[in-house]
Structure 1
Amino acid sequence: MTKESAYVTLLTNESYLPGALTLGQKLKELKTVYKLAILIDASALSPSSVDLLKTVYDDIIPIDDKVINAPLDKLVERLGRSELSITFTKVLLWNQSKYDTLVYLDSDTLPLASLDHLFEEYKDLPAHQIVASPDSGWPDIFNSGVFVLKPDEEVFGKLLDFTTAENNTFDGADQGLLNEFFNLASKGTNWIKLPYIYNVTPNFTNAYQYYPALTRFFDDIKLLHFIGSTKPWHSGDVLSADFDNFHQYWWGDFNKFYANDAELKAKLLSLPKGEAYNLKFDKYSNKWDAEDAGSHFQSELSSATHSQAPIFPWEHKEERTPTRSFDPHPAPAEEASSGDKSKVEEGLRENIESLSKTKLDTGVKSPPLSKSYGFDKESKDFNPDKSLDEVSKLPLKFLTKNQAKKEEDK
């Protein structure tokens, strides 16, 4: 009997339910010919939520919380995110032997184009290899939010053993685990690189994206992955969405699929906002998050963008007091002699006094200024003394002209 292939995602709590439902609906809208499967922790979901998933997914696969084997001490030490231990359940994907090929998608992803061709392209993928896109934060490792795999009993057994081994994950979560197993241990030979356009993680507010390349290849993007603590549905509506990280694309599809059911839409958007809020241990705060320890979700990044702590060296600015200042009235390059200065000052005083004595109300005006300003019209030579004398009369000229205009206006 020929085995089927399927898209598969993972849901371990109510907070990601809007994402899982939108993801499934989007794959159907893109007219996939493959089944939709979802691994769920039924103990963390309400019966009504499970029923909602059944309307979208063809195969609901329950998981047992006993398989959550992530080393909590390492999670706390490396990420401060003990709730990510539940993501080790991705190991169970290799135990789904009823499927031939699986394309795994995190529930906070959104396909923008059909991905069905991946099943055909990797139908002969060896079970010991994985197909995934490089992570933009460190391209020598792959991002574990999107990958193609072949379920296999032997590989599954080795992965289970690996989850309890020493130094099995460099980040304490599934991405570190899968990279250690498929990538680093084999020096990259077991990882087949999928183009980055299949797993684009914007996250501009955390300086996580190469914007010029994003602009160049934007039309080719196959899938968006909304990484980080704040998901599109945490905004509450599209107007409050983080447009810098393309949350509006998710909202466009969510509203398309659920706008006609106002009651259901309101219910989905009022679910608890947090990862593994129902687990039996305290949630530690990620050092990159803005919330205080114990809170369920990060406040909107958009409201904190401008108050974000400096990251790059050039952002650590120092406030320094100027070590020198400039005279607001700098002296000319070649100063006039003290005698010349006195002559100008004396001329100015005389002109101002003369202006105050002029009887402007009788129409008497001050003598007009020469327009030569020190130039002899006949010889074309410059006379400095004459120039100083003419310049000293300028205030009188302007004041007289202004006052005379006012008299004419009357």
Structure 2
Amino acid sequence: MTNADYARGARALLRSVRATGSTADRVVLHTGGVPDAALAELAEEGARPVAVDLLPTSDAFNERHARDRLHARAPFTKGGKPPFHTPLDNFAKLRLWQLTEYRTAVFLDADMLMLRNSDRLFDYPEFCAAPNVYESMRDFHRMNSGVFTARPDEATFDRMLAALDGPGRFWRRTDQSFLQDFFPDWHGLPVTYNMLQYVWFALPDLWDWDAIHILHYQYEKPWHANHERARELAPLIALWNAFDAGAPVPNLATLPAPPGASAA
């Protein structure tokens, strides 16, 4: 997390993880932009906040990956990123490999909900991630770095830093592009372990409430009222709001199927 917006997302995520009965430690990596009050709330939800620095990348690297420069070279055309999104900060998730007090780790972005226990992922090898599928079946060759498995190790972290920054190095989708390059033989998780919210309206036949373990609110965030996709994604936003408010969470079996989904 790099700011209070993501802290709110992390709080809802932590509540959802706890509701699945997970027995795993829950660690929240954060940089200097998260208020102390927000960190205290996350600790009350059972998380261990761990402060990390941004990576020691060069000035030239930072300039290439600054929000305005990166979005000019690689604009987001499929959905809207909120104004608090700072692409350069995404690389801080590589600090996960420095949590060497743990044998294995599962990374989760803060804009997610865990709907079913996913502790089995700790037994998966490094590096596993789900495909970046939300528009067409052609997307299966690309990975999404919102969920991945890792084996913390300082030597791996050092190799990552050496590979990350160099003359002209440009990672079009920041950490996502870098991790796919660093782990070219990544193992594919089922899409149900990182179900992107746009599947709801773009590929409705992939949506199955009975199978989804982790729901990812990519692009527009559910805590931003009246965003341009709010009407299309209303059932998903209502689900997130229940966790955010600490209200009773609806039974997933009672939730509607996506509009346009084929009959079972």
What TM-score results when the alignment is normalised by the length of structure 1?
Answer: 0.51
Q: 3-state DSSP class of the match of 1:61?
A: strand
Structure 1 CA distance for aligned equivalents of residues 160 and 214 of structure 2? 27
Q: Kindly indicate whether the alpha-carbon contact (under 8 Å) linking 2:54 and 2:91 is maintained by their aligned counterparts in 1.
A: no
1:78 to 74, 77, 80: 74
Q: Does 1:48 align with 2:7?
A: no
Q: Determine the C-alpha separation between the residues in 1 that align with 2:110 and 2:231.
A: 18
Q: What's the CA shift for 1:167?
A: 6.3
| Structure 2 Cα separation of the partners of residues 165 and 15 of structure 1 | 31
Deviation (angstroms), 1:73: 2.1
Secondary structure of 1:221 counterpart:
coil
Specify the SS of the correspondent of 2:144: strand
Return the alpha-carbon distance in structure 1 between the equivalents of residues 178 and 195 of structure 2.
Answer: 21
* Cα distance in 2 between the residues matched to 1:242 and 1:90: 30
Quick check: 1:232 aligned with 2:229? Answer: no
Query: Do structure 1's residue 23 and structure 2's residue 18 form an aligned pair?
Result: no
Indicate how the Cα distance of structure 1 residues 58 and 226 shifts in structure 2: closer, same or farther if over 3 A, else same. Answer: closer
* C-alpha distance in 2 between matches for 1:68 and 1:56: 33
C-alpha separation between the residues in 2 aligned to 1:249 and 1:68?
38
2:198 equivalent in structure 1: 203
CA RMSD of aligned residues (A): 2.7
Map of 1:105 onto structure 2: 108
CA deviations on 1:257-311 (whole Å, 9 max, x unpaired) are: 599xxxxxxxxxxxxxxxxxxxxxxxxxxxxxxxxxxxxxxxxxxxxxxxxxxxx
2:211 alignment partner, one of 200, 220, 229? 220
Q: Shift of the alpha carbon at 1:17?
A: 1.7
User: CA separation in 2, counterparts of 1:58 and 1:17?
Assistant: 12
Distance 1:22 1:179 in 2: 28
Is contact 1:203–1:245 with CA below 8 Å preserved after alignment? no
Tell me how far apart the structure 2 counterparts of residues 28 and 45 of structure 1 sit (CA, whole Å): 22
Matches of 1:225 and 1:159, distance apart in 2: 26
Q: 1:220 to 1:166 in 2, by over 3 A?
A: farther
User: Which fold has the larger relative contact order, with Cα–Cα distance below 8 Å and residues 6 or more apart in sequence?
Assistant: 2
Please state if 1:148 is matched with 2:145.
no
Equivalent position of 1:93 in the other structure: 96
| 1:158 counterpart residue number | 159
Report the secondary structure of 1:233's partner residue.
Answer: coil
Q: Determine the C-alpha separation between the residues in 2 that align with 1:118 and 1:251.
A: 26
* 1: CA distance, partners of 2:232 / 2:8: 17
1:159-308 correspondence to structure 2 within 5 Å: 159-166=160-167, 168-183=169-184, 189=185, 191-203=186-198, 209-214=202-207, 217-228=208-219, 230-235=220-225, 242-243=232-233, 246-256=236-246
* Cα distance in 1 for residues equivalent to 2:167 and 2:211: 40
Which residue of structure 1 aligns with residue 255 of structure 2? Answer: none
| Distance in 1 between residues matched to 2:40 and 2:238, nearest whole Å | 27
Q: State how far apart, in whole Å, the 2-side matches of 1:193 and 1:168 are.
A: 26
Q: Distance in 1 between matches of 2:170 and 2:213?
A: 29
Deviations 1:317-349 (A, max 9, x none): xxxxxxxxxxxxxxxxxxxxxxxxxxxxxxxxx
The one-letter code of the counterpart of 2:193 is: Y
Mapped partners of 2:57, 2:232: distance in 1:
32
Give the 3-state SS of the residue equivalent to 2:163 in structure 1: helix
Instruction: Please tell me the residue identity of whatever aligns with 1:252.
Output: A
Identity of aligned residues (%): 25
Q: 1:204–1:245: 8 Å Cα contact kept in structure 2? A: no
Letter in 1 for 2:174: A
Displacement of 1:157 in angstroms is: 0.4
User: Larger Cα Rg: Structure 1 or Structure 2?
Assistant: 1
* Paired residue secondary structure (2:131): strand
Is 1:79–1:171's contact at 8 Å kept on the other side of the alignment? Answer: no
- 3-state SS of 1:218 partner: coil
The answer to whether the 8 A contact 1:235-1:241 is kept is: no
50, 53, 57: which one pairs with 1:61? 50
2:259 equivalent in structure 1: none
State the SS of the aligned residue for 1:176.
Answer: helix
For 1:233, the aligned partner's letter is W
Pair 98,90 (structure 1): closer, same or farther in 2 beyond 3 Å: same
Distance in 1, Cα, partners of 2:45 & 2:221: 21
| Offset of residue 144 of structure 1 | 0.4
TM-score by length of structure 2 reads 0.77
Find the aligned partners of 2:168 and 2:178 in 1 and give their Cα distance: 9
Q: Is 1:35 the counterpart of 2:25 in the alignment?
A: yes
Amino acid at match of 2:151: K
Deviation, 1:62, is 0.4
Contact in 2 for aligned 1:112/1:222 (Cα 8 Å): yes
